Homo-oligomer: A and B are copies of this chain.
Amino acid sequence: MNAEVKPLDRAEAEEYASWFKALADATRIQIVSLLARRREPMTVGEIVSVSGVGQSTVSHHLKILAEVRFVLVERQGTSSLYRINEACVSCFPTAADVVMGKPVPASPACDRTGDRDGT
């Protein structure tokens, strides 16, 4: 056998892939970095006004970012308030470390504290 060192488990690789896929678009990166710099929520309209793309497109991107929990949503009146998921601020760079082979301690990489699902 030649595989004395094996790659990541397929399941783990697929989870990380879903994270990277969510950021595999310049517009979504701008949205995430914007929400991360502002620690406070932003409405869709505010994001639209700085994103350079249409409202439906921004809504679509926000949905993708929310599906992987990079951002969290909260409705307030007619607006939807989007904010960064603080848990991902720390867990995502750790995922990048793991992919790049850095041995990561047994600490929970992403416990998603403060995350709630609205099923």
Contacts and interface: CB of A to CB of B under 8 A. Distances in A.
Range, interface on chain A: 35 or more
Q: How many subunits of this chain does the assembly comprise? A: 2
Interface of A: 2-3, 5-8, 10, 13-14, 16-17, 20-21, 23-34, 36-38, 46, 49-52, 84, 88-90, 92-93, 95-102
Chain A facing B: main interface SS: helix
B6 A26 contact: no
A101 B26 CA distance: 15
A86 B71 CA distance: 31
26 contacts: A2-B46, A2-B50, A3-B49, A3-B50, A5-B34, A7-B29, A7-B31, A7-B33, A7-B34, A7-B37, A7-B50, A7-B51, A8-B30, A8-B33, A13-B26, A16-B23, A17-B23, A17-B24, A20-B20, A23-B99, A32-B99, A33-B100, A36-B99, A36-B101, A92-B100, A93-B97
